[in-house]
Amino acid sequence: MRNNNDIISDKMDWVTVALYFAIVFLGWINIYAVTYDQAKSISIFNVDLNSGRQLIFIVGSIFIILAILIIDMRFYETFAYVIYGAILFLLLLVPIIGKEVGGNKAWLGIGSFGVQPSEFAKFATALAVAKYIGSVGFKMDQLRNQIILFAMIGASMLLILLQKDTGTALVFTVFTLVFFREGMSPMLIICGVAAAVIFILTLLVNSYYLFIGIGIILVIAIVMGKKKIKRIAMLTAAAIALCCVIISVDYVVTNVLRPHQQNRIKALINPDADPLGFGWNVTQSKIAIGSGGFIGKGFLKGTQTKFDFVPEQSTDFIFCTIGEEHGWLGSLFIMTLFVGLLLRIVFLAERQKNRFARVYGYSVACIFFFHFAVNIGMTIGLFPVIGIPLPFFSYGGSSLWGFTILLFILLKLDIHRMQVLQRI
Amino acid sequence: MNEGRKEIIQIVFVLVALIFLVKLFFIQVLDDRYAQLANSNAILRQIDYPVRGLIRDRHGKLIVYNTPEFDLQIIHREVKNLDTARFLDVFSLTREELLQTFKELKMKKEYSPVKPTIFLTKLSARDFAKIEDNIDEFPGFYIQARTTRAYNAQAAANAIGYVSEISKTKLERDKTGIYKQGDYIGQSGIESFYEQYLRGTRGVRFKLRNVDGIEKGSFRDGEMDTLSTPGQDLTTTLDLELQKYGEYLMKGKSGSIIAIEPSTGEILSMVSGPSYDPTLLTGKNYSSNFVLISNDTLKPLFNRPLMAQYRPGSIFKIAQAMVALQEGVITPETRIRCDRSIIDCHGPHTNEDLRGAITNSCNPYFRDVLRRMLNQGKSNNPFDDTRIGLTEWDKHISSFGFGKRLGIDLPNEKNGLVPSPAFYDRAYGGRPWKFSNIYSIAIGEGENLVVPLQMANFAATVANKGYYITPHLVKSIGNSGKPLPPYTEKHYTTIDSAYFRVAADAMERVVEAGTGQFRAKLKDVIVCGKTGTVQNDPKPAHAVFIAFAPKENPKIAVSVYVESAGQGGRSAASIASLMIEKYLYGATQRPQIEEYVLKGKFLN
């Protein structure tokens, strides 16, 4: 019988591992580029810099990877609910005993060492969702099952929202994409996107114009189609419902969203309205990226990211450094790496022999995708500023470890995918 | 059942990345607006003002130099938590002044909250020490050092000119793009004429700065930085001691003194009276002082040597004599009766030859000389004959440099006037005119107008026996040792040099035995001169004197014009001879003449 290590090195998907380390390495040197000061020229390894500390986190994640690979693969499925429950418990603790960093109370501290349980909630929720969908007799079209699934992601979202970390909470909406893959009707996603569009439109356009627009569309729809009472009634009901949505969105925006959240959405629509105020982040981020040109200013030569014009550069706005110093070509390269990783994960998920592993794989892909899309989207002004990190790239221990755990549990499952078949 | 959903998800992943890349391509490659914004964000453009060229006299003595001056600039966006009380204290301002300054700041055309804008100007060196120690307390404020003009002597203010902030109209007209609002520019005199040499070139340093405006080293290791190059020093032709002496003599008088070295055209001194203290037009109180000086009824900013157009009076007879000799209508021996029935005369003489006529400044003699010139019988029609004669006369007179700008290296020079047939046609509105209408030009009255510089240049021309070099004030730009090219060229008159000898002889006689004998005669050197007394009714006549000395190898030619000072033989002749003495010997041996001039009582 071959020993465990041989199996790991034989069956490990080295393509993913290579992509992982490539992105982590590029992230690390870009974190150095952010803090680089030509007057001081401190070493990349200096722990006074973010880059030095990031290196410690990277070394830490190697240990985490080893631990994940050593632990028996059955552990993850077996203890999925336990892990999920434990993380929920930690999330519950955060508002009570957590410490506040940068306006969000999202940290659990042990001495000077702090972690963000919300970063770990992602893999825990993914495990739980995968286990539930993978359970014997699960059928996606049963309403009860759907309710339970949404309750699972809803619980995580709710507890994270309590920490006022809207960005991370929104990540969990991406599970709908996983559900879609597993057979849920696309109507939900379509409705979700439509709601978002209406939401944005409400902010952009005066509600009265929207009402008039809906009215016109309604009349056209009635005139064009078959004139059945039932159909007309349905259309009218839908139009009225839409108007109600608009009114409630108006209400939510002005009364429920906190001022900085309103400003972020307004900044997305028109960042030039107040470039020094709420549009500052997006404006400066776009200036930094836009000034990079086709080939960029060169490594360590960026001026915008170096001199603090862009806020949160090491974390949420790390992509600015790529855009500024490496230009469009550098951006293309980073995009290629990420899309490559995403497609590879989908490939891995699809080759799993059981549903648990496949659902988990899709969860990983979709979570990465959400982070990737929203993070880069916000730096170039396509999404509102939602403070979520770029996976493996942004500075921060919790997020790096959280993403590492997400990815390597999948790789561990992938290594043993043939055993699963044997076992069942 | 879930067929194709895998592909849909993959397509979504790729599609989002593609959308990002397209958007990135727009903002990174197609739109260069962001690159410009990035530069204005992070790159601070610091102007390195060059030192303006120095101005020296002909012996290398410093006349104009520079002293440091400090402006306070503001980058409005960077001003945070301004401690107003402390600011007022450090900058010695009142609250109202500060509010006013802020108000004016935003009205400035070049104002931008993110770019340095001038906030306060001309902080003195004394204020500066205090400010420099405390400037760190006020983020967003920067000190910009530059230099301002300082003067070693209160002399030649109008010749040298002054430097001040460029005016809005000048800035709009400036096509060189060199100047920006708040920049300094030579406004008159040498400072204006030689601006392009004096100003030097500005240097620019590109500094990187972070979001708080703190400098973070040089941009691209300074490869785009340029050093300022100082302006070129000018060596003027002025003799500072002579200039000061001239101004001393002109104290309390209106008029001008110009002394020229005939062989080179170099202006040894150029006095405009009254003058002003050039120091008043530098520093903090420039504006109020300027108003004061420009509103002075005696017009100290009016540079009389170039701008005051006077009738030349009897000195013009020298020119008439030479033109007549050249035209062959008289010889030096021609005698003409002093017929005082048409034109008045002075002194006891009746029938002089040319020399005697000049010595006694005989008016009827020169009236007849002009008649002979203008009416040479080339036409039977007396009107046409005069026209032909006047055209010829014009040509000769103009060749002395009268009636047009000589082209001195100073701005605002006036033409003067040599009446031409066309001029009289206009003046008479098409009605015919002939000699009897215009004869007063024979004695330098009538329509003639000259500026004092032209008179001095005329004296220099006689001294040179037939040519002049355009008078100029700068003999060397930088280390070239040479003036500008126009100032080495000889301009010959239309008169043979033999006739200049006659003129010089006559001028010698004027000083020796004629109208100039009492006050222009010097013991050790032959002075050639000519007096003029220009009618100025109802006020007293203007006094004029031109001279050069020594007679052989002349070293100095002078013209003096004193307004409303009566006979030229008095004030003007005295001043001219004192200037000659001072230049040739360093001091006067005739204290009584100096005293007479300083007393200033020339009218009996």
Contact of B574 with B520, CB cutoff 8 Å: yes
Contact of B364 with B342, CB cutoff 8 Å: yes
Dump pLDDT digits (tens) for A302-342: 777 766 677 777 788 889 889 989 999 999 999 999 999 99
Residue A421's pLDDT band (cuts 50, 70, 90): low
* Cα–Cα dist A363/B307, whole Å: 92
Least confident of A162-176, B53-67, B389-403: A162-176
* Cα–Cα dist B118/A54, whole Å: 45
More confident residue, B472 or A297: B472
Closest residue by Cα to residue B13 from A358, A179, A341: A341
Distance from CA of B148 to the nearest CA of A (A): 35
Q: Does B492 touch chain A (CB under 8 A)?
A: no
C-beta atoms of B13 and A306 within 8 A: no
- DSSP, collapsed to helix, strand or coil, labels residue B14 as helix
**Mean pLDDT of the residues in chain B:** 88
Q: Does A323 touch chain B (CB under 8 A)?
A: yes
Residue A14's pLDDT band (cuts 50, 70, 90): very high
Q: Does A40 touch chain B (CB under 8 A)?
A: no
Residue A358 pLDDT? 92
* Cα–Cα dist A28/A47, whole Å: 13
Contact of B158 with B192, CB cutoff 8 Å: no
**Mean pLDDT of the residues in chain A:** 83
On chain A, the residues whose CB falls within 8 A of the CB of B10 are 343, 346
Least confident of A36-45, B96-105, B185-194, B371-380: A36-45
More confident residue, B103 or A114: B103
C-beta atoms of A284 and B41 within 8 A: yes
Residue B107 pLDDT? 79
Beta-carbon contacts of residue A110 (< 8 Å; ≥ 6 apart): none
Contact of A31 with A322, CB cutoff 8 Å: no
Report for A49-53, A321-325, B442-446, B468-472: range of highest mean pLDDT: B468-472
Find the residue in B nearest to A325 (Cα): B28
C-beta atoms of A382 and B23 within 8 A: yes
Choose from B12, B14, B34, B77 for mutation: most chain A CBs within 10 A.
B34
Q: Does A131 touch chain B (CB under 8 A)?
A: no
Closest residue by Cα to residue A402 from A30, A126, A19: A126
More confident residue, A249 or A27: A27
Beta-carbon contacts of residue A369 (< 8 Å; ≥ 6 apart): A174, A177, A342, B12, B13, B16
Write out the two tokens for A51: 């880059």
Q: Does A291 touch chain B (CB under 8 A)?
A: yes
Closest residue by Cα to residue B379 from B392, B366, B389: B389
Q: Does B79 touch chain A (CB under 8 A)?
A: no
Contact of A327 with A408, CB cutoff 8 Å: no
The yes-or-no verdict on residue B40 having pLDDT over 90 is no
Nearest CB to A342 within list B1, B13, B28 = B13
End-to-end CA distance of chain B: 129
Choose from A36, A303, A334, A390 for mutation: most chain B CBs within 10 A.
A303
The residues in A 332-371 lying below 8 A from B, measured between CB atoms, are 332, 335, 338-339, 342-343, 346, 350, 362, 365-366, 369
Q: Report CA B88 to chain centroid distance, whole Å.
A: 41
Dump pLDDT digits (tens) for B169-199: 888 888 877 887 778 899 899 999 999 999 8
More confident residue, B534 or A243: B534
The yes-or-no verdict on residue A71 having pLDDT over 70 is yes
Least confident of A128-142, B217-231, B334-348: B217-231
Q: Does A303 touch chain B (CB under 8 A)?
A: yes
Q: Span B51-80, mean pLDDT?
A: 87
The residues in B 175-234 lying below 8 A from A, measured between CB atoms, are 208-212, 216-217, 219
Residue A247 pLDDT? 82
> With pLDDT > 90 as the criterion, what percentage of chain B qualifies?
49
Residue B480's pLDDT band (cuts 50, 70, 90): confident
Question: Tokens 């942004």, residue?
Answer: A394
Residue A102 pLDDT? 57
Q: Is B193 exposed, middle or buried (0-12, 13-18, 19+ CB in 10 A)?
A: buried
* Beta bridge partners of residue B374, listed in sequence order: none
Choose from B18, B24, B44 for mutation: most chain A CBs within 10 A.
B24
Q: Span A112-120, mean pLDDT?
A: 76
Residue B220's pLDDT band (cuts 50, 70, 90): low
Least confident of B72-81, B248-257, B493-502: B72-81
Residue A103 pLDDT? 56
Q: Does A328 touch chain B (CB under 8 A)?
A: yes
* Cα–Cα dist B13/A216, whole Å: 35
Residue A420's pLDDT band (cuts 50, 70, 90): low
- DSSP, collapsed to helix, strand or coil, labels residue B88 as helix
Residue A232's pLDDT band (cuts 50, 70, 90): confident
In eight-state DSSP terms, residue B229 is B
Residue A251 pLDDT? 77
Amino acid of residue A312 = E
Residue A162 pLDDT? 84
Residue A278 pLDDT? 58
Residue B80 pLDDT? 77
Residue B529's pLDDT band (cuts 50, 70, 90): very high
Specify the pTM.
0.62
* Cα–Cα dist B453/B470, whole Å: 10
On chain B, the residues whose CB falls within 8 A of the CB of A338 are 17
Residue B3 pLDDT? 74
* Cα–Cα dist B374/B394, whole Å: 10
Nearest CB to A346 within list B10, B27, B219 = B10
- DSSP, collapsed to helix, strand or coil, labels residue B527 as coil
Q: Span B102-108, mean pLDDT?
A: 81
Residue A82 pLDDT? 94
On chain A, the residues whose CB falls within 8 A of the CB of B21 are 328, 331-332, 335
CA distances, A171 to each of A368, A387, A402, B497 (Å): 9, 11, 13, 105
Dump pLDDT digits (tens) for B417-458: 999 999 999 999 889 998 888 998 989 888 999 999 999 999
Residue A424's pLDDT band (cuts 50, 70, 90): very low
* Cα–Cα dist A381/A283, whole Å: 8
* Beta bridge partners of residue A110, listed in sequence order: A113
The yes-or-no verdict on residue A224 having pLDDT over 90 is no
The yes-or-no verdict on residue B573 having pLDDT over 90 is yes
Measured from the Cβ of residue B310, the count of other Cβ atoms closer than 10 Å reads 24
Q: Span A54-65, mean pLDDT?
A: 93
More confident residue, B175 or B42: B175
Distance from CA of A101 to the nearest CA of B (A): 22
Report for A28-42, A211-225, A274-288, B499-513: range of highest mean pLDDT: B499-513
* Cα–Cα dist B232/A332, whole Å: 54
On chain B, the residues whose CB falls within 8 A of the CB of A292 are 28
Contact of B79 with B140, CB cutoff 8 Å: yes
Q: Does B114 touch chain A (CB under 8 A)?
A: no
Write out the two tokens for B291: 């108003």
Least confident of A115-119, B298-302, B445-449: A115-119
The yes-or-no verdict on residue B18 having pLDDT over 90 is yes
Measured from the Cβ of residue B472, the count of other Cβ atoms closer than 10 Å reads 24
* Cα–Cα dist A414/A353, whole Å: 9
On chain B, the residues whose CB falls within 8 A of the CB of A277 are none
Here the ipTM equals 0.87
Least confident of A128-142, A354-368, B241-255: A128-142
Closest residue by Cα to residue B272 from B255, B292, B249, B260: B255
Nearest CB to B23 within list A291, A369, A380 = A380
Residue A1's pLDDT band (cuts 50, 70, 90): very low
Checking B400-405 for CB contacts under 8 A at 24+ apart, the result is B400/B319, B400/B454, B400/B457, B400/B458, B400/B461, B400/B468, B400/B493, B401/B454, B401/B457, B401/B458, B401/B461, B401/B468, B401/B491, B402/B319, B402/B448, B402/B450, B402/B454, B402/B458
